[in-house]
């Protein structure tokens, strides 16, 4: 009877549900109950965006990681982090020396396993991390981003696994971030890897969004998988991961050995997790992430993006219908627009090189699709509005795209004078630690135990400065107050934004992301001064928003005049919130 072990993806449970992760004191409460459950060989403790999120609400991530991992490791549970390869644990590329330092710091903090992936499946971005992780004494789990296309076949992933194992990977992970991997194909991939490399552990990570995940877990189990990623209620299912209870029962019925679950401890973890939601984390969650959605099968987008997609649609819905109405065409309902967005995403995906739809490339593809729908609704053409980050992906600066670019995209890039990059992406981002060391000495900042403060400064420059100054804590408290007020307002009112009464017949310009307003930033978009009476055109940049992952432009979605300004320089806004009004 073969045993299959479980990994609790406690970090991903939160980040697939909302914006924030638990604080250090909350993790300290729940960790002993996770241990008492007695069924987890591994727990995902950090990585992805979690350390950056700690800084955003004014908490030192080093204290949080050390506290959480110690309790688990003392109980004999392995700890795991998510590593984005070239992007480290942030949303944009990281200098090589900072990436290398990360493994030394995280090993010292108690993290055992580095789950290393590249959002483009470019092994050039993964292999250096394999070597650096192993050098630091960590287990290097090389990871393949699973999606479904004519390019992403079983043979494609089998070849990729062979290359990663040859480069020294200790383990292989199948990261099915949108949950659209087909069960039989996943089984074929795992079976081939395990037949050729029986001593290489294989782990499967599958989100539940479109509903394949339980079948996929049974298939990969029968094919020889060693570890399965699971969640616990109240953050299981929906757009997250299957609950450990269901998966354990299914596997036992299929003849596998699984560890027993201490149900008293399970209920304790459940109760504590819900208490964290009730305390403050729930204010930053979208209720739609609790639901499955089979529409994701076609577009291939990660389920965790449903909340942000709906906010995007809310922002452009009225503008699109205004354009359609002016053209004498039928207006679209929100559901019709959602299906149109999914269809457009599927259309542009292959034309943009078929990148696996994982952060941040899923956002880039979705944004192009959304802007295409908008510009076409007013008689324009596709690809009129593509932001800089998306162009970097197209031009190869983040890595090699798996598929071919459409000739129309290539011609557009040449028309703009852009050059395609075919070298090693890391070469675009030279070493940076010496400058950070010098600045910390000048400021009198301590580099921290095992250089962990130096690492955070170099990895999260702006967020770390705001953390040190106290600005991050202040801004988070303001954001929380806004979120609480908004939740109360939506519970009281089921009517349109009251600002419509203040600006009759005007349309809102809504925040493209949650963050801090910046009125003057140099983008490709035509910049407009934010003044009452200013004339704007569809696509004009109104402002920018400083987010946890970079600066996002916010543009007008129709032609007209600014008749009202709701947010000033430095104000904090939530995605979808009105910044100004155009008539």
Once rounded to an integer, what is the mean pLDDT over residues 502-513?
77
> Which backbone phi and psi does 119 adopt, to 5 degrees?
-60, -15
Six-digit token pair at 210?
């479109």
CB 145 within 8 A of CB 180: no
Averaged pLDDT for residues 570-582 = 81
For the domain spanning 497-582, the CATH number is 2.40.50.100
Helix (H, G, I), strand (E, B) or coil at 205: strand
Beta strand 78-83 with 171-176 is unpaired
- The angle at the Cα of 23, spanning 232 to 270, to the nearest 5 degrees, equals 20
Contacts of residue 360, Cβ cutoff 8 Å, sequence gap at least 6: 87, 91, 92, 119, 389, 549
Quick one: DSSP state of residue 204?
E
| pLDDT at site 494 | 40
**Contact criterion met (CB below 8 Å) for 457 and 445:** yes
Residue intervals of the chain classified under CATH 3.20.20.70 are 5-284
Burial of 414 (0-12, 13-18, 19+ CB in 10 A): exposed
Is the pLDDT score of 228 beyond 50?
yes
Q: What is the pLDDT of residues 379-412, one digit of tens each?
A: 889 999 998 889 999 999 999 999 999 999 999 9
Residue 303 has pLDDT above 70, yes or no: no
- Kindly give the interhelix angle for 407-415 and 388-395, rounded to the nearest 10 degrees: 120
Please say whether the beta carbons of 544 and 554 come within 8 A. yes
Question: Where, residue-wise, is CATH 2.40.50.100 in the chain?
Answer: 497-582
What pLDDT shows up at residue 336?
A: 86
Phi–psi pair at 4, nearest 5 degrees: -115, 130
What confidence score (pLDDT) does residue 78 get?
98
pLDDT at 307: 58
Tell me the β-bridge partners of 174.
144, 204
Output the pLDDT for position 549: 59
pLDDT digits 0-9 by tens, 187-222: 999 999 999 999 999 999 999 999 999 999 999 999
Residue 324: pLDDT band (50, 70, 90) is confident
| Average pLDDT of the residues in 160-183 | 97
Check if the beta carbon of residue 120 is closer than 8 Å to that of residue 399. Answer: yes
Region 247-276: mean pLDDT is 97
Residue 564, sorted as left (phi over 0), alpha (psi -120 to 50) or beta, turns out to be beta
- Band of pLDDT at residue 488, cut at 50, 70 and 90: low
Average pLDDT, the chain: 90
Task: Provide the CATH topology of domain 5-284.
Answer: TIM Barrel (3.20.20)
Confidence at residue 526, expressed as pLDDT on a 0 to 100 scale? 46
Q: What is the pLDDT of residues 52-74, one digit of tens each?
A: 999 999 999 999 999 999 999 99
Angstrom CA distances, 311 to 337, 363, 426, 560, stand at: 12, 13, 34, 23
User: CA–CA separation, 99 vs 455, rounded Å?
Assistant: 9
């Amino acid at each position: 009877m073969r045993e299959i072990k479980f990994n609790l993806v406690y970090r991903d449970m939160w980040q697939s549900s909302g914006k924030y992760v638990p604080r250090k004191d909350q993790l300290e409460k729940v960790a002993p109950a996770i241990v008492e459950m007695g069924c987890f060989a591994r727990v995902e403790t950090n990585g992805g965006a979690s350390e950056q999120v700690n800084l955003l609400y004014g908490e030192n991530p080093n204290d949080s990681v050390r506290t959480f991992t110690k309790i688990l490791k003392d109980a004999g549970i392995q700890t795991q982090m998510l590593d984005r390869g070239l992007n480290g644990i942030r949303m944009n590329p990281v200098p090589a020396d900072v990436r290398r330092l990360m493994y030394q710091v995280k090993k010292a903090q108690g993290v055992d396993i580095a789950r290393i992936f590249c959002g483009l499946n470019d092994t050039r971005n993964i292999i250096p991390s394999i070597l650096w992780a192993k050098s630091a004494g960590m287990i290097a789990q090389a990871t393949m981003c699973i999606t479904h296309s004519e390019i992403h076949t079983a043979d494609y992933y089998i070849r990729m696994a062979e290359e990663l194992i040859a480069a020294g990977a200790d383990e292989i992970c199948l990261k099915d971030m949108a949950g659209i991997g087909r069960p039989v194909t996943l089984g074929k991939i795992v079976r081939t890897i395990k037949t050729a490399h029986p001593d290489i552990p294989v782990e499967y990570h599958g989100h539940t969004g479109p509903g394949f995940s339980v079948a996929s877990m049974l298939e990969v189990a029968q094919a020889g998988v060693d570890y399965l990623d699971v969640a616990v209620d109240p953050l299981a299912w929906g757009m997250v991961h299957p609950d450990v209870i269901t998966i354990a029962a299914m596997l036992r019925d299929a003849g596998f050995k699984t560890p027993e679950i201490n149900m008293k401890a399970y209920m304790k973890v459940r109760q504590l997790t819900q208490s964290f939601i009730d305390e403050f984390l729930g204010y930053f969650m979208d209720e739609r992430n609790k639901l499955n959605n089979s529409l994701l099968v076609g577009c291939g987008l990660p389920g965790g993006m449903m909340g942000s997609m709906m906010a995007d649609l809310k922002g452009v819905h009225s503008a699109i219908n205004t354009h359609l109405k002016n053209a004498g065409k039928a207006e679209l309902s929100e559901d019709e627009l959602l299906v149109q967005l999914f269809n457009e995403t599927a259309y542009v995906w292959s034309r943009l090189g078929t990148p696996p739809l994982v952060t941040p490339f899923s956002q880039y593809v979705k944004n192009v699709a959304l802007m295409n729908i908008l510009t076409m609704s007013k008689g324009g053409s596709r690809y009129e509005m593509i932001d800089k980050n998306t162009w970097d992906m197209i031009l190869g600066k983040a890595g090699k795209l798996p598929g071919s670019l459409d000739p129309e995209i290539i011609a557009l890039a040449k028309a703009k004078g852009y050059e395609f990059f075919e070298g090693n992406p890391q070469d675009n981002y030279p070493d940076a630690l010496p400058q950070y060391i010098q600045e910390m000495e000048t400021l009198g900042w301590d580099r921290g135990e095992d250089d962990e403060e130096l690492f955070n400064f170099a990895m999260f420059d702006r967020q770390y400065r705001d953390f040190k100054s106290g600005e991050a804590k202040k801004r988070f408290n303001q954001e929380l107050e806004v979120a609480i007020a908004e939740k109360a307002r939506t519970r009281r009112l089921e009517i349109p934004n009251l600002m419509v009464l203040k600006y009759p017949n005007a349309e809102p310009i809504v925040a493209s992301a949650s963050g801090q307003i910046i009125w003057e930033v140099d983008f490709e978009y035509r910049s407009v001064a934010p003044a009452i009476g200013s004339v704007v055109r569809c696509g004009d940049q109104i402002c920018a928003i400083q987010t946890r992952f970079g600066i996002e432009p916010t543009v007008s979605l129709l032609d007209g005049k600014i008749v009202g300004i709701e947010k000033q320089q430095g104000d904090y806004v939530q995605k979808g919130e009105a910044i100004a009004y155009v008539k």
